[in-house]
Amino acid sequence: MDHFLHLLSSGLARGAVFAVFALALVLIWRAARIVNFAQGAMAAATTYVAFAVTTATGSYWLGLGAAVLGGAALGFAVERGVMRHVAGRSPLNSVIVALGVVMVLQAVLGIAFGNDYKPMAVPFSMEPLWVAGTPLLSPYDLYVLGAVAVLLVAFGLLFTRTSVGLRMRAAAFAPETSRLLGVPVSRMLTLGWALSAAVGALAAVLVIPTELGLNPHATDTLFVYAFTVAIVGGLDSPVGAALGGLAVGVLLSMVTGYLGSTLAPIAVLALLVVVLIARPSGIFSARQVRQA
Amino acid sequence: MSAHVPVHVHGSWRRPGPATRRLGLTVAGLALAIGATFVLEPYRAYQVAIVAAYLCATAGLTLLVGRGGQLSLGHAALMAAGAYGFGLSSNALSAAGASGAVRLVVPLAAGVLAAAALGALLGAAGARLRGPYLAGLTLAVVVAVPAITSTFSRTLGGDRGLWIEIERRPDALRPWVGAEQWQAWVAITAAALVLLVLGNLASGSAGRQIAAVRDDEAAARLAGIDVTRVKVVSFTLSAAAAGLGGAVLAYVTQIANPGAYSLVFSLFLVVAVVIGGLGSLAGAFWGALLLVALPEATTSIAETLPVSPTLAQRLEGNLALLVFGLLLIVLMIVAPRGIHGALARARGALRRRWSARGPAPAPAPVPEGAAARAPTTG
C-alpha cells in the first residue's frame, strides 16, 4: 500500500510535467492546426541552454530563466524562419519540415555538446518526504507541482482575462474575420509559437534532470508521451491535456514501479493504440472525427 | 499530381503494354546491376547490397506517403520486424539442421510476413486517422523498439542484438562469386521484385484508388471505393516492402539490433523519399543511394577537417544528420517534388525549348506558365 501511494503521488508529479509539455502541443494546434513534431528537439535545445548557463554561473534559477527565454526565442525563429514557409500546404508538409528541424537541432546539439549524457543539478532534494510513515512526494516533486500550478493559472488568466489572449483565440479560430476586425493574425501566430516553445522549455527543464538524462535525443520519448497525452485528452482541449497528463503520468509510474521501467514505452504505445481505435477524438474531447 | 497520370493507348499491337515494358526494364536493370558486381571491390558490392536493402524500404515508403498521403515515421520499426523475423527463423532453421535455398527463402518470407502483420495492425489503427495522428502513432512504435527488444531480451538479444546464422552462397558458385557479391545479388533481386510489384500496383487501378482516397475521401467513397480497405492494404504492402528490406539487411549484416532501427534512421528514410521525390519509385532509388553515399562522404570530410579529435568524432556522428535535416527543410520549402521532380522539370523545359526551335510554332505562353505551376500541387 505504501508502495502504491508513493507511485501514485510521484506519478502525479511527473504527469504534471507531461501535462505542461502536452499543453505546449495544444497551444500550437489551436493556433495553427499543426502538431509540432519539433517540440521535443526544441525543448532539448533549451535544456542545453539551461545546462550551459547553470554551469557558467552556478545558479539553477538563471539557467531556468535562460531556458524559458531561449525557448521563446527559438519558437519565434522556427515559426518565422521555417514553418511560415510551408503554412497552407498539405499538413504532411509541415510535419516533414518539423522533422527537418528535429534533425538539424539534434545534429547541432551533438556537435556542440557531444552525444553523451550530461549530469544536471536540481535545486531541491529528490528523496521522498515521509508522511505518517509513508514515503510520498519529494521536495523536488512539490516544486514541480507548484511550478505547473502557477503556469496553468497564468495561462488560464492570459486566455480568458486579457485582450492579447482574446486576440490569440480569435486569430486561431476565425483568422479571416479577425483580420477584418484588425487583429494582427500573423503576429498572434508567432506569439503562439513563442509561448508554446517557452512552455515546452520549462517542462523539459523540470523533467530531464530526474529521469531522462540530458542528451540530444533525450526528448524523443518525452515527445511521444506528450503526444499520447494530447491524443488521450484531445488536441483541442487544454483541460484534457492537463487531465490526460496526470493519467499518463500515473500509468507510467505504476508500470515502472510494478513491472519495470523498460515496459514504460510499450505501455504508452498500447494506451495510444487503444485510445486511437476505441475513441479517436480523445477521451475528454467533444469533437467527432480526428482529421487534420 | 493526379493530373499527370500518363495515358496509355491500349490495344496497340506495335508497342508493348506498360506492364510488359516495366518487366523488361526491371530484368534489364537486374542484369546490369548483377553484371556490375563483377567489377566492384568486395566493399563496394557490400554497399550495393545495402543500397538495395534500403531501396526496398524507400520504395514502399514513397508510395505510402506520396500516393497514399499516409506519413509513416515507423518504417525503421517495420524494417526491424523484418530483420528479427528473418533472424529468428534463420536461426531456428539452422538449429533444425536445414540448409540450402530453404534457409534463405523461408527466413526472407518470414521477415516480410512479420512486417506485414505489424503493418496491418498499424494500418487498421491508422485507417481512421490522417497526417499528424498516424505520424505520431508510428513515431511511438519506433521509439518503443529498444524497449521491446530489451523486454524480450532472451529471444531478441536485448541491446546487443541477435546474431544470425545465415545460408551462404552455393558451393558451385564459390570459385567465381565472392561472398559480398552473392549478398549483393540477393539484395538486388529483392529490390527488383519490390520495384516490379509496387510499380505495377501504382500504375494500375489500385494506384488510382489509393490516390483517389488521398485526394478526397468522401469523393472516393461516393465512387464506390472501400476507403478503409484501401488504406489498410496500402499500409500493409508498404510494410511488407520495408520488411523485405530489413530481412535483406539482416542477411547482409548477419545481425538484427535495435540501434540500427532507431528514430533517426526512420527520419533518414523519410528524408530519402522526400529528396528522391514523394511518390516516385525512381526517386526512391536516388534516396536509397544518398542514404549510403552521404554519410560516407561526410565521414571522410570530417576526417580531413583540421579540428580536435573530440570535435572530429562529434562531427562524424552528426554531420550527416545536419546535412539531411537542412536538405529536408530546404527541399520541402523550395522543391517539394525532390530530385526526380527537378529532373522531370528540367527535361520538360529542354523539350519545350527543343520544340520551340522546331518547325511547329511555339504554343502561346499560357500553357508554359500552367505547366510550370502545376507540379507544385501535392
From first CA to last CA, the distance across chain A in angstroms is 44
pLDDT band at A263 (very low <50, low <70, confident <90, very high): confident
Neighbour count for residue B147 (Cβ, 10 Å): 21
Asked if A99 lies within 8 A of B328 by C-beta distance, the reply is yes
**Rounded Cα distance, B366 and B362, in Å:** 11
Written as nine digits, the cell of B343 is: 529532373
Is any Cβ of chain B less than 8 angstroms from the Cβ of A114?
Answer: yes
Of B69, B317, B328, nearest to A96 by CB-CB distance is: B328
As to burial, measured by CB atoms within 10 angstroms (0-12 exposed, 13-18 middle, 19+ buried), residue B311 is: middle
Q: Within a 13 Å sphere around the CA of A173, how many CA atoms are in the beta-carbon half?
A: 7
**Rounded Cα distance, B181 and B94, in Å:** 23
- In total, chain A counts a number of residues equal to 292
As for the ipTM of the complex, it is 0.86
Minimal Cα–Cα distance from B28 to chain A, Å? 35
Asked if B144 lies within 8 A of A269 by C-beta distance, the reply is yes
From first CA to last CA, the distance across chain B in angstroms is 6
pLDDT band at A292 (very low <50, low <70, confident <90, very high): very low
Written as nine digits, the cell of B123 is: 494500418
pLDDT in tens, B112-126: 999 999 999 888 887
Per-residue confidence (pLDDT) for residue A183, from 0 to 100: 83
**What is residue A83's DSSP assignment?**
G
How many cross-chain Cβ pairs, A to B, lie less than 8 Å apart?
157
Q: Return the amino acid letter for B98.
A: A
Q: How would you classify residue B369: left for phi > 0, otherwise alpha for psi between -120 and 50, otherwise beta?
A: alpha
Per-residue confidence (pLDDT) for residue A256, from 0 to 100: 87
B54, B62 contact by CB (below 8 A)? no
What does the angle CA B262 – CA A91 – CA A15 come to, to the nearest 5 degrees?
55
Picking from A155, A159, A156, A157, the residue whose alpha carbon sits closest to that of residue A170 is A159
As to burial, measured by CB atoms within 10 angstroms (0-12 exposed, 13-18 middle, 19+ buried), residue B353 is: exposed
Phi, psi angle pair for B340, to nearest 5°: -65, -40
Picking from B54, B80, B25, the residue whose alpha carbon sits closest to that of residue B273 is B54
- Average pLDDT rounded to a whole number, residues A5-9: 84
**Rounded Cα distance, A164 and A158, in Å:** 7
If one compares A251 and B374, the residue with the highest pLDDT of the two is A251
Is any Cβ of chain B less than 8 angstroms from the Cβ of A272?
Answer: yes
Is any Cβ of chain B less than 8 angstroms from the Cβ of A115?
Answer: yes
Bridge partners of residue A75, in order along the sequence = none
- Average pLDDT rounded to a whole number, residues A236-256: 86
Q: Which residue has the cell 497528463?
A: A245
Helical axes B179-203 vs B42-62, angle rounded to 10°: 20
**Rounded Cα distance, A231 and B16, in Å:** 51
pLDDT in tens, A276-285: 877 766 666 5
Which stretches in chain B have pLDDT values below 70?
Answer: 1-16, 130-131, 356-378
Q: Which residues of B268-306 are buried (b: 16+ CB within 10 A; e: fewer)?
A: bbbbbbbbbbbbbbbbbbbbbbbbbebbeebeeebeeee
CA-CA-CA-CA dihedral for B69, B72, B78, B80, to nearest 10? 150
Q: At A43, which helix (H) or strand (E)? A: helix A39-57
DSSP conformation letters of A118-140: B----SS--SPPEETTEE---HH
Per-residue confidence (pLDDT) for residue A284, from 0 to 100: 64
Bridge partners of residue A131, in order along the sequence = A134
Per-residue confidence (pLDDT) for residue A61, from 0 to 100: 93
pLDDT in tens, A24-39: 888 888 888 888 999 9
**Rounded Cα distance, B287 and B245, in Å:** 14
Of B128, B147, B318, nearest to A263 by CB-CB distance is: B147
The mean pLDDT of chain A is 85
CA distances from A72 to A63, A76, A163, A190, A199 (A): 14, 6, 20, 10, 8
The mean pLDDT of chain B is 83
Neighbour count for residue B39 (Cβ, 10 Å): 8
Bridge partners of residue A135, in order along the sequence = A130
Q: Within a 13 Å sphere around the CA of A63, how many CA atoms are in the beta-carbon half?
A: 23
Residues of B in contact with A103 (CB under 8 A): 264, 267, 271, 321-322, 324-325, 328
Q: Return the amino acid letter for B118.
A: L
Residues of A in contact with B129 (CB under 8 A): 276, 280, 290-291
Asked if B332 lies within 8 A of A97 by C-beta distance, the reply is yes
**Rounded Cα distance, A261 and A273, in Å:** 20
A 48-107 near B (Cβ less than 8 A):
82, 85-86, 89-93, 95-97, 99-107
B261, B77 contact by CB (below 8 A)? yes
Asked if B325 lies within 8 A of A107 by C-beta distance, the reply is yes
Asked if B139 lies within 8 A of A227 by C-beta distance, the reply is yes
**Rounded Cα distance, B348 and B313, in Å:** 44
Neighbour count for residue A111 (Cβ, 10 Å): 19
Bridge partners of residue B214, in order along the sequence = none
Share of chain A above pLDDT 90, in %: 24
Task: Find how far residue A18's CA is from the centre of its chain.
Answer: 6
Give chain A's count of helices (H) and strands (E).
11, 2
Picking from A11, A27, A9, the residue whose alpha carbon sits closest to that of residue A248 is A11
